[in-house]
Structure 1
Amino acid sequence: MFGIHDIALFIVSGLLLNITPGQDVAYIVSRGAGLGWRGGAIAALGVGTGCFVHVFAASLGLSALLATSATAFTVVKLAGAGYLIWIGLTMWRGSNGNVKETCLAQRPSLHRIFTQGFLTNALNPKVALFFLAFLPQFVSADSTTKPLAFLLLGVLFTINGTMVNLGWAWFAARAARLLKGSGRFSVWIKRVAGTLFIGLGIRLALAKAA
C-alpha cells in the first residue's frame, strides 16, 4: 500500500531504535523519577508530539533542507543545543538549597513539562536527518505516493515510540518509589539529569551534519 514494504521489519527496527536511550529518554526518565508516572507520561507525550514535526517535515521534503543546507542545519542545531543546556541549568537551579526547601519548591506545571518535551525533540536536527535516512528504506523507489508513505510510516514510528517512552516513564517512576528514602533522592536526580542535559547540549552543538 502506497509503496510501503517490509512493514514488520520497520516496526521491529523502530522499536529497537526507540528503546535505545537518548536525550528524549533522558528527559522522560528524569521527569518520571522526579515527578512520578504522571510527569513522565506528560513528558513522553510532549516528545511524541515534537516527533510529529519531523514526520511532517520528512513527508513534505523539508528535512532535505537540513541535509543539504549547512546554514539551516547549524541554526536549528544551535537552537536545540541552547535549549538543552537551558533545561540542564534550570534543573540544577531547582536543586539548590537545602533538601526541605527543594522538596517544598513549586513543581513544574504539566504544560511546562509537555512543552519542554516537545521542544527537546522538535529542535533536534538529528531526528529530522534520521527520518530522512530511515523512512525511504521502506518505500519503493517507484512509488508515486512517497509523501503519503513517509507520513504513514512516520506516524506509525511515532506511535510505537511513544508507547516505548511511556514504558520508560513508568520504569523511572517505579524505580524512584523503590529507591527514594528522603528528599535527597529528588535533589540528586535533578542534578544528575541537569548535568546530562548540559552534556547533551554541548554534544549537539559540536555535531556535524551527516
Structure 2
Amino acid sequence: MVEPNAVLGVVSVALGMVLSPGPNMMYLVSRSISQGRRAGIISLSGVVAGFLVYLTATNLGLAALFAAVPQVLTAIRLAGAGYLMWFAWKTIRPGGASVFTVRDVPHDPPPRLFAMGLMTNLLNPKIAILYVSVIPQFVDIRAGNVLAQGVVLGLFQIAVAATVNFSIVLAAGSVAGFLAHRPAWLRAQRIAMGSMLGALAVMLAFSRSASF
C-alpha cells in the first residue's frame, strides 16, 4: 500500500527536520536540563500528542482549509519565524544563555509539562508545513486508500521524531555538564545555535513554498 521509497523519503525529511534547531528541541532540552529527564519525557509526550493532532487534522481536511484560506498558513509561518528569531536573539545576544545552560527555574507539574509540550508543537510552523505540504507529496493516488497512506507515513514521521527527541532528552544533562566546564565551547555552541535559528527564521519568513 505504501511504497518503500515513500517511507524512505518521509523518514529522511523527518530526520532532517528533527535534527535542525527549532521550538521543540529548545523546549525539550531546556526542560530536561532544568527539571530532569522525567520532566523531559513528560514534555516529549505532549510534543508527540501534537504530532498526532496534526496527523488527524491533516487527514480530516486541514490541508483543504489552508488551500482555501492560505492566509492562515501564512500567519502560522510568520508567527513561527518571529518566534524563532526571538529565540535566536535571546541565544546569541551579548550575555545570552545557551539552551544547554543549567537554570534554576520553578518545577512545573506533569499536566503543565504535557500541555506546554503540546502547545509548543502545535505552534511550530515547521510541523504545520511538514504535514500540510511535504508528507502529502509522498502519497501515491494510484496505490489507493490515500487516507491510510497519509496515516502510515505520518506515523513513520512521528516514530523518527519521538526516537530522536527521546535521545536528546536523555543526553541533554550530559551535554550541559560537559559544556559547563568548557566556557569557550559553550560560547561557540550558543553562537552556532543562535545563528542557525536566525537563518531558519529568515528562510521561513521569506519562503513562499513548503520545501524545507
Query: Contact 1:139–1:149 (CA<8 Å) still a contact in 2?
Result: yes
Deviates more, 1:127-136 or 1:7-16: 7-16
Mapping of 1:26-45 within 5 angstroms?
26-45=26-45
Q: Is the 1:32–1:40 contact (alpha carbons within 8 Å) kept by the matching residues of 2?
A: yes
Give identity over the alignment, percent: 31
Shift of 1:69: 2.2
What's the counterpart of residue 17 of structure 1?
Answer: 16
Relative to structure 1, the CA distance from residue 123 to residue 15 in structure 2 (aligned partners, 3 Å threshold; closer, same or farther) is closer
Query: What value does the CA root-mean-square deviation take over the aligned residues?
Result: 4.0
Secondary structure of 2:143's aligned partner: coil
- Write the deviation string for residues 49-87 of structure 1: whole angstroms up to 9, x where unpaired: 111122112212312432552322244446667877999
Q: Which residue of 2 aligns with 1:143?
A: 143
Match of 1:166 in 2: 166
Deviation at 1:5, TM superposition (A): 0.5
1:14–1:73 Cα change, 3 Å: closer
* Offset at residue 39 of structure 1 (A): 2.0
Judged with a 3 Å threshold, the aligned counterparts in structure 2 of structure 1 residues 177 and 125 are, in CA distance, closer, same or farther, namely: closer
CA distance in 1, matches of 2:127, 2:66: 11
TM-score (norm. length: structure 2): 0.67
Q: How does 1:165-204 map to 2 (within 5 A)?
A: 165-179=165-179
**What amino acid does structure 2 have at the position aligned with 1:49?**
A
Contact 2:29–2:172 (CA under 8 A) maintained in structure 1:
yes
Q: Give 1:31-110 correspondences, 5 Å limit.
A: 31-77=31-77, 103=104, 106-110=106-110
Three-state SS of the structure 2 residue aligned to 1:107 is coil
Shift of 1:37: 1.2
Q: CA deviation at 1:12?
A: 4.1
1:107-165 deviations in Å (ceiling 9; x for gaps): 12222222112111112344222223332343223233112210121122112211110
Counterpart in 2 of 1:130? 130
Which amino acid counterpart does residue 5 of structure 1 have in structure 2? Answer: E
- Mapped to 2, the partners of 1:52 and 1:86 lie a distance apart of 27
TM-score by length of 1: 0.68
- Structure 2 CA distance for partners of 1:116 and 1:87, relative to 1, 3 Å: farther
